[in-house]
């Protein structure tokens, strides 16, 4: 276990996944803050911290469930003819459906943030909250919605890193715990930075589209799908890491250029 966690692939996956969990968790923090701000001031901090801890617990429980399903790799249906061959397992179905969901959810989020950026926040603001229990119930629902993206992203980033699913499960749990701890400790500074640099969150959503596409191809590969004798191959994780690192480097250069321009003016 320790040997795996110390490998370069595991460390890169951990760092990348933790970063994505934080960036994609910003909306979660915003909605939790909106719900908590309806409470008396002395309860707001408590509600926010409990909300984030609930998010962590929910994600870990869902990780166990999804990891179990992904481990069901034995095919239960096969199809073979002159032009297509596939052997479907629950693992392939979860990855395929999860990939399509990430692509749909990410493109929808990008469109919504461009056209109606305040829509979801207005909906949360419109709900009446008069007690801590009501706030925590609302936060629990919000956490569950955001946990789905988080879990599918974690599966996409770690699937295939090790043949033992328990190893990758531990890696995903570590990333979730680290990201929640960072969000609890630095929620406001992170939120303010993202608000000043909204392209970071757009990048995070764009990365989800990449991860979703990779999950779809991974599902085809694991179900041994072949078209006219040509089998679908898996996309190496290194391509994904390089795309994310390169995009972040370009974003960093844009950030530095914008800072210098502001100072010059």
Q: Which has the closest alpha carbon to 223: 73, 50, 118, 110?
A: 73
CA distance 6 to 1: 9
**pLDDT grade for 121, boundaries at 50, 70 and 90:** low
E strand or H helix at 219, and its extent? Answer: helix 199-222
**pLDDT grade for 124, boundaries at 50, 70 and 90:** low
Question: What is the pLDDT at residue 128?
Answer: 62
Residue 236 is given by DSSP the state: P
Domain boundaries, the chain: 2-264
pTM of the model: 0.73
Cβ neighbourhood burial of 262 (10 Å; 0-12, 13-18, 19+): exposed
Rounded average pLDDT over 112-123: 65
Of all residues in the chain, the percent with pLDDT exceeding 70 is 92
- The answer to whether the CB of 168 falls within 8 A of the CB of 159 is yes
* Residue 152 in tokens: 């599918």
- pLDDT-wise least confident of 48-52, 54-58, 127-131, 253-257: 127-131
CA distance 245 to 255: 15
Residue 88 half-sphere exposure toward CB, CA atoms < 13 A: 10
Average pLDDT over all residues of the chain:
80
**pLDDT grade for 129, boundaries at 50, 70 and 90:** low
């Amino acid at each position: 276990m320790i040997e795996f966690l110390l490998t370069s692939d595991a460390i890169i996956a951990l760092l990348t996944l933790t970063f994505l969990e934080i960036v994609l968790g910003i909306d979660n923090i915003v909605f939790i803050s909106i719900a908590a701000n309806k409470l008396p001031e002395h309860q707001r901090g408590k509600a926010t911290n409990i909300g984030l801890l609930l998010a962590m617990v929910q994600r870990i429980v869902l990780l166990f469930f999804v990891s179990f399903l992904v481990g069901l790799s034995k095919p239960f249906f096969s199809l073979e003819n002159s032009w297509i061959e596939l052997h479907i397992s629950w693992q392939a179905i979860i990855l395929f459906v999860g990939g399509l969901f990430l692509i749909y959810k990410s493109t929808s989020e990008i469109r919504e943030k461009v056209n109606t950026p305040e829509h979801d926040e207005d909906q949360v603001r419109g709900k009446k909250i008069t007690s801590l229990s009501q706030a925590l119930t609302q936060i629990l629902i919000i956490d569950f919605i955001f946990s789905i993206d988080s879990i599918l992203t974690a599966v996409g980033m770690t699937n295939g890193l090790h043949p033992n699913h328990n190893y990758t499960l531990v890696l995903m749990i570590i990333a979730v715990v680290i990201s929640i701890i960072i969000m609890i400790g630095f929620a406001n500074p992170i939120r303010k930075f993202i608000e000043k640099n909204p392209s970071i969150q757009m990048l995070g959503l764009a990365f989800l589209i990449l991860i979703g596409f990779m999950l779809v191809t991974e599902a085809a590969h694991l179900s041994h799908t072949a078209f006219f004798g040509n089998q679908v191959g898996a996309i190496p994780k290194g391509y994904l890491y390089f795309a994310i690192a390169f995009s972040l480097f370009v974003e960093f250069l844009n950030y530095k250029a914008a800072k210098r321009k502001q100072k010059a003016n």
